[in-house]
Chains A and B, each alone.
Chain A
Amino acid sequence: MNDHPPLNPMARLWSWRYIVLRRLTQFFTLLLFFGSAHWGWSLNSEGSRAIPLLAGNLSGSEFMGIIPMADPFAALQIFLTGHLLQFEVIIGALIVLGFYALIGGRMFCAWVCPINPVTDLAGWLRVRFDIRPTFLLSRNTRYFVLAMTLILSVLTGLAAFEWVSPVGMAHREILFGLGFGGAVILAIFFFDLFILKHGWCGHLCPLGAFWSIVGKINPTLKVRFDKTTCTHCGECAKVCPEPQVLNLKLLEARGLVFSGECSNCGRCTPVCPEGSLVFDFKPLIKKHNALAQGSVSKVEP
């Protein structure tokens, strides 16, 4: 580890490319919603009324008055309450589900979710001040919370997570007026900072669990793993908020970060000193790895 030379300032900036991109996506998504809600960002309509550019919030929205979007997890919960869903929200949920199924379910978590910057900050501070864990919790807890969400939706007749979701609260309250949600966000921040590392996003959030399951599909954007260059230095696992996805055995077998729990945040790719972890188009990964291994095996004997 110590034999990696320190980066020069420009390279250092370049190594932050993904976090900058993620913050920009998060910010501009929010800005699109906010501008449409408060600054009259709209299309000049044919009729008397202007059509808002992006009306709604992450739970449900409409883009340019035509494309409906809806949180498929919220729609699923509402479906389970027994309410007959309207066509519009079903189409919207399928659009969003299809989009994230294509590029990776947890892309939502790392690139869009408004809670992500909060928990990222807590995670960063935790490393910075070397705060030891209070207790450990299985990362699979989130799947139980997910199951509980669905069961409670059936039993109570209310979309169980939507009624308590800090994600929804944060986003709604930024767009539609502040309330107690800020306190919930703070609670999550301190929970992540002092109680459990990556506690909310990595252990509890059922929405993250939902997107993890969807993320198993992702046929496009994956982090490629090149076992011929990897030196097992472990830098990637240090920065990864879901280090279990970087299980070396699995990585070597698959040649890519396979788990749906990977949020494609891109933290690992710039820190890898050998460049063994790189974003790549999934269908090309196999070929690349075969080539890389081929060239190594040609050189070695």
Chain B
Amino acid sequence: MSTHRRDFLVRMMQGATLATTGGLGWAYLLRQEARAQPFALRPPGALPEADFNAACIKCGQCVIDCPPLILKLQPAGGLLPVGTPYFEPRTGACVMCPDIPCMKACPTGALSPALKRIEDARMGLAVIDIENCLSYKGLRCEICHRECPIKGKAITLELHPRQTSKHAMFIPIVHSDACTGCGICVKACPTTEAAIRILPHALVQGKIGEHYRLGWTRDDEVTQTFDASAAAPVLEEVANKAAGPVKGTATDYLNDGGL
């Protein structure tokens, strides 16, 4: 092997090693940055996590075009992915502008124009801390219910009468099919620390699974039909067995004092 070729190969390997280690370190940094994302509350229309991370160009046009100025860009070194827009409902809730200017300002489509009505936005989901919610203590608070922009749909009140000496509870119930996650309830909540919070869906929503059949609900899918003719021989057999020592039907058996 000539020194020339040897030098070339060594240099190639040195270059490749530098590139791989550097690349790994860099990729690790990117992963770390992107990992914080599930905690972020994004402006309306934001794509799902990974897509949003890929698409956001970090230009801040949504921040500038936000009429109530609630959006912020995360500076480097913070808890959320660097340079991406977010809001904190307790200090600045989304006022749900009907024309969605932040989404319109987005040049890349990270805030997707597929969102046509602000009511369809799903920025997050309101979750209630029932240990600290005033309504659960029997106080007539219900501020979240009254302030909610999706009136009577996203937060409803459920009446729970209690014993005579106690006030009935009017407890707020959040409905995920209507809640946009705007956070106006969080901003309005009168407790020292908000007893209602907006969290990203992925952090609070479960999934029931396909295999459960709630047979007793009216609109549940019917999976088995009762066929009388098919069941007849089985019923007859059961009846014959039962007809042994005791005569008559089950009702007779009971009426005759068999029990």
What residues make up the interface of A, taking CB atoms closer than 8 Å to B? 36-37, 49, 52, 55-57, 59-62, 68, 70-71, 74-75, 78, 81-86, 88-89, 92, 144, 148, 151-152, 155-160, 162-164, 168-169, 172-173, 175-181, 183-184
Set B50, B75, B113: member contacting A176, Cβ < 8 A: B75
- Chain A residues with CB under 8 Å of B83's CB are 162-163, 168-169, 172
CA distance A53 to B54 in the complex (A): 28
Given A36-B64, A59-B58, A82-B54, 20 new contacts (CB under 8 A): A37-B64, A55-B105, A56-B61, A56-B64, A60-B59, A60-B107, A61-B59, A62-B107, A68-B107, A70-B107, A78-B54, A83-B108, A92-B107, A148-B19, A158-B34, A163-B81, A168-B83, A177-B72, A178-B75, A179-B75
- A148 near B75 with CB under 8 A, answer no
Q: How far is the CB of A180 from chain B (nearest CB, A)?
A: 2
Known pairs A57-B60, A158-B54, A163-B33; A89 contacts B107 (CB<8 A): yes
Known pairs A86-B109, A92-B107; A70 contacts B54 (CB<8 A): no
Q: How far is the CB of B211 from chain A (nearest CB, A)?
A: 33
- A148 near B23 with CB under 8 A, answer yes
Please, could you name 13 A-B residue pairs with CB atoms under 8 Å apart, sorted by A?
Answer: A37-B64, A60-B108, A68-B107, A70-B57, A83-B109, A85-B108, A148-B19, A156-B30, A157-B54, A159-B57, A177-B72, A180-B77, A184-B76
Q: How far is the CB of B126 from chain A (nearest CB, A)?
A: 27
CA distance A70 to B76 in the complex (A): 21
- B61 near A62 with CB under 8 A, answer yes
Interface residues of B in 62-76 (CB under 8 A from A): 63-65, 67, 72-76
- B75 near A177 with CB under 8 A, answer yes
- B58 near A168 with CB under 8 A, answer yes
- Chain B residues with CB under 8 Å of A177's CB are 72-73, 75
CA distance A164 to B25 in the complex (A): 12
CA distance A158 to B65 in the complex (A): 25
Name the CB-closest residue of A to B18. A144
- Chain B residues with CB under 8 Å of A81's CB are 54-55
CA distance A81 to B60 in the complex (A): 20
- B108 near A89 with CB under 8 A, answer yes
Set A88, A144, A160: member contacting B26, Cβ < 8 A: A160
- Chain A residues with CB under 8 Å of B29's CB are 163-164
Name the CB-closest residue of A to B75. A179
- A176 near B109 with CB under 8 A, answer no
Q: How many residues of B contact A (CB 8 A)?
A: 42
- Chain A residues with CB under 8 Å of B107's CB are 56, 60, 62, 68, 70, 86, 88-89, 92
- A62 near B105 with CB under 8 A, answer yes
CA distance A70 to B83 in the complex (A): 15
- B57 near A176 with CB under 8 A, answer no
Name the CB-closest residue of B to A81. B54
- A175 near B60 with CB under 8 A, answer yes
- Chain B residues with CB under 8 Å of A156's CB are 27, 30-31, 34
CA distance A75 to B60 in the complex (A): 15
CA distance A172 to B26 in the complex (A): 21
A-B contact count (CB 8 A): 147
Interface residues of B in 226-257 (CB under 8 A from A): none
Set A49, A70, A83: member contacting B55, Cβ < 8 A: A83
- Chain B residues with CB under 8 Å of A152's CB are 23, 26-27, 30
CA distance A172 to B76 in the complex (A): 9
- Chain A residues with CB under 8 Å of B157's CB are none
- Chain A residues with CB under 8 Å of B76's CB are 169, 173, 179-181, 184
Set A36, A75, A155: member contacting B57, Cβ < 8 A: A75
CA distance A75 to B56 in the complex (A): 10
- B67 near A49 with CB under 8 A, answer yes
- Chain A residues with CB under 8 Å of B82's CB are 163-164, 169
Q: Is B51 an interface residue (CB 8 A)?
A: yes
Known pairs A78-B54, A85-B109, A158-B30; A60 contacts B61 (CB<8 A): yes
Q: Is B176 an interface residue (CB 8 A)?
A: no
- B75 near A55 with CB under 8 A, answer no
CA distance A198 to B72 in the complex (A): 34
Q: How far is the CB of A299 from chain B (nearest CB, A)?
A: 50
- B26 near A148 with CB under 8 A, answer yes
Annotate B104-115 by CB proximity to A: 1 below 8 A, 0 otherwise. Answer: 011111000100
Known pairs A57-B59, A61-B61; A183 contacts B77 (CB<8 A): yes
Q: Is B53 an interface residue (CB 8 A)?
A: yes
- Chain A residues with CB under 8 Å of B34's CB are 156, 158, 163
- B101 near A49 with CB under 8 A, answer yes
- B57 near A78 with CB under 8 A, answer yes
- Chain B residues with CB under 8 Å of A157's CB are 50, 53-54
Name the CB-closest residue of A to B54. A81
- A176 near B73 with CB under 8 A, answer yes
CA distance A174 to B61 in the complex (A): 15
Q: How far is the CB of B34 from chain A (nearest CB, A)?
A: 6
Q: Is B209 an interface residue (CB 8 A)?
A: no
